[in-house]
Amino acid sequence: MADVFRALDDETRRLILDELAVSDGKTLFEICSLMAGKHGVGSTRQAISQHLAVLESAGLITTERRGRSKFHYFDSEPLAAIIRRWPIVEKGNQ
Amino acid sequence: MRITITGVFVDDQEAALAFYTDVLGFQVKHNVPVGEHAWITVVSPSAPDGPELLLEPVGHPAVKPYRDALVEDGIPLAQFGVDNVEAEFERLTARGVTFTQPPTEYEDHMIAVFDDTCGNLIMIQSDSVADE
């Protein structure tokens, strides 16, 4: 679980997850386009690639080959595990 | 200095010629047999005297690893201008073309990326979102 928190402790990685959570199945090129064009993140392609590797090893994204290209998908399971460990308590409903 | 000819490597020149003309809509400018291959260039019908695209046969051993690495990461090898990216996306999808990236806004214009069936990814872009 520590790797999930470490993966989330970076604004660029959170922005990548924001984009994949809205619509996933994106190539590295598309993610780089969104980071640069929409979020003004000027990271190199290599840096974005490393961010994706951190997210993947934390289980927050998965990759799949379709044809000859590699696509990235958001996986919320590690976040669900956090909620299961510390369930959300509704206040003021007693 | 002007850009007169640029090129893409293609797996099969005949198949590439068919795709670039029948599907994309370019027209043949040169088709000259050279040994077992041909020197084939296509141009846009809207600019027949404009820049030519050379459909170059894959031969050099460096081409495959180079193109494989680009395609894996979704990186286009060439970029073509269109009036309306959404309309081209619809038209080409109906013709069976696969897009690795649907129409996406990038700064002040739209972009999309498709597989040219000859081993390359191609980006199309419009001049501005306002043109769409």
A33 touches chain B (CB under 8 A): yes
Tell me the per-residue pLDDT of B26-53, one tens digit each, with 9 for 90 and over: 999 999 999 999 999 999 999 999 999 9
Count how many pairs of residues, chain A against chain B, have C-beta atoms within 8 Å.
Answer: 53
Q: What is the mean pLDDT of residues B9-38?
A: 96
CATH number of B5-131: 3.10.180.10
| Residue for token pair 């990326």 | B113
Q: How many CB atoms lie within 10 A of CB B65?
A: 9
Is-contact B33 B17, C-beta < 8 A?
A: no
* Residue ranges covered by each domain of chain B: 5-131
In the structure, what pLDDT confidence band is assigned to residue A94 with cuts at 50, 70 and 90? low
In the structure, what pLDDT confidence band is assigned to residue B100 with cuts at 50, 70 and 90? very high
Q: What is the DSSP letter of A83?
A: H
CB contact under 8 A, B101 and A28: no
Closest CA relative to residue A61, chosen from A34, A25, A9, A30: A25
Q: What is the mean pLDDT of residues B109-129?
A: 91
Residue A74 has pLDDT above 80, yes or no: yes
Average confidence score pLDDT of chain B: 93
Domains of chain A: residue spans and CATH: 2-85 (1.10.10.10)
- The percentage of residues in chain B with a pLDDT greater than 90, rounded to a whole number, is 89
Q: Which two tokens stand for residue B119?
A: 């081993």
- What does the DSSP assignment read for chain B? ----EEEEEES-HHHHHHIIIIIT--EEEEEEEETTEEEEEEE-TT-TTS-EEEEEEP-STTHHHHHHHHHHTT--SEEEE-S-HHHHHHHHHHTTPPEEEEEEEETTEEEEEEE-SSS-EEEEE-S-GGG-
Which residues in chain B are contacts of A28 at CB distance < 8 A? Answer: 73-75
Tell me the per-residue pLDDT of B60-86, one tens digit each, with 9 for 90 and over: 999 999 999 999 999 999 999 999 999
CB contact under 8 A, A29 and B76: yes
A84 by Cβ neighbours in 10 Å (0-12 / 13-18 / 19+) ranks as exposed
CB contact under 8 A, B73 and A29: yes
Task: Check residue B23 and give its pLDDT.
Answer: 97
Which residues in chain B are contacts of A37 at CB distance < 8 A? Answer: 104-107
Closest CA relative to residue A33, chosen from A18, A48, A11, A55: A48
What's the rounded Cα separation, in Å, for the pair A33 and B107?
Answer: 9
Residue B131 has pLDDT above 60, yes or no: no
> What letters, b where the CB count within 10 A reaches 16 and e where it falls short, cover A58-81?
bbbbeeeeeeebbbbebbeebbee
